[in-house]
């Protein structure tokens, strides 16, 4: 029996490995600082007011876009590709949903996270059960609503995935950000979701506009059952 040698990166001494790693980490830290600067620029983006009324179907019945905030200031909507005539949700969107975790840490930063799809609620619930998604991320149906079309994730070419971010001032709702395609690939971490929002992580090291809510880093986060929210 002939065995094929499996490929490996270059094998070097410990000293050579440490040197190569140190040189790489310089570039990696530079990328982190560049991402921090980009997130700061995102927090300063202008917003556009949402003037149209939308009705969604959720576990507790009909809901407005304002209801999706659940009383919090910020809302992140993951546009999960699931057309009304599909038999299952999008594979890639299912990957994103697999990476979602307990939202209590987002709630502690006054931020809600929901998923929205065009398929009827019954289909969404059936697919959630199939996937075994037991975490409490609300999933709303925008069936028979213009929401997906107006947001730009349902077009004549078909369905698109993406993430929209909204912020409210009382009952007034504003859209602050959208990304799609590979822009959603790095999401899943609670930190990266917060980075999408106007208020960011709300920590004192961030370059945010004056008056933005901020606290010391690592002093606010708790175990998800220890928050008073």
Predicted confidence at residue 2, as pLDDT, reads 63
Measured from the Cβ of residue 61, the count of other Cβ atoms closer than 10 Å reads 9
Predicted confidence at residue 48, as pLDDT, reads 98
Measured distance CA(173)–CA(156) in Å, rounded = 27
Could you report the per-residue pLDDT of 40-98, keeping only the tens digit for each? 999 999 999 999 999 999 999 999 999 999 999 999 999 999 999 999 999 989 989 98
C-alpha torsion sign, points 58, 184, 222, 173:
negative
Burial 72-111 (b: 16+ CB within 10 A, else e): bbbbbbbbbbbeeeeeebbeebbebbeebbebbbbbbbbb
Q: With a cut of 90, say whether residue 113 has pLDDT above it.
A: yes
The pTM score is 0.88
């Amino acid at each position: 029996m002939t065995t094929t040698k499996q490929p490996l990166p270059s094998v070097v001494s410990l000293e050579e490995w440490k040197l190569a790693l140190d040189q790489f980490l310089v570039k990696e830290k530079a990328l982190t600082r560049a991402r921090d600067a980009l997130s700061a620029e995102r927090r300063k983006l202008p917003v556009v007011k949402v003037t149209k009324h939308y009705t969604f179907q959720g576990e507790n019945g009909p809901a407005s876009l304002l209801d999706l905030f659940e009383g919090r200031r910020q809302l992140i909507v993951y546009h999960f590709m699931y057309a009304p005539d599909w038999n299952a949700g999008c594979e890639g969107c299912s990957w994103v949903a697999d990476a979602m975790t307990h939202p209590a840490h987002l709630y502690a930063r006054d931020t809600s996270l929901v998923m929205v799809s065009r398929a009827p609620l019954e289909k969404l619930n059936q697919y959630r059960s199939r996937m075994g998604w037991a975490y409490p991320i609300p999933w709303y149906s925008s069936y028979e609503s213009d929401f997906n079309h107006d947001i730009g994730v349902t077009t004549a070419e078909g369905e698109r995935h993406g993430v929209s971010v909204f912020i409210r001032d009382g009952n007034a709702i504003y859209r602050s950000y959208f990304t799609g395609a590979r822009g959603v690939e790095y999401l899943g971490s609670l930190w990266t979701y917060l980075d999408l929002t106007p208020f960011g992580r709300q920590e004192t090291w961030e370059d945010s506009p004056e008056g933005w809510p901020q606290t010391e880093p690592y002093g606010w986060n708790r175990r998800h059952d220890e928050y008073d929210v």
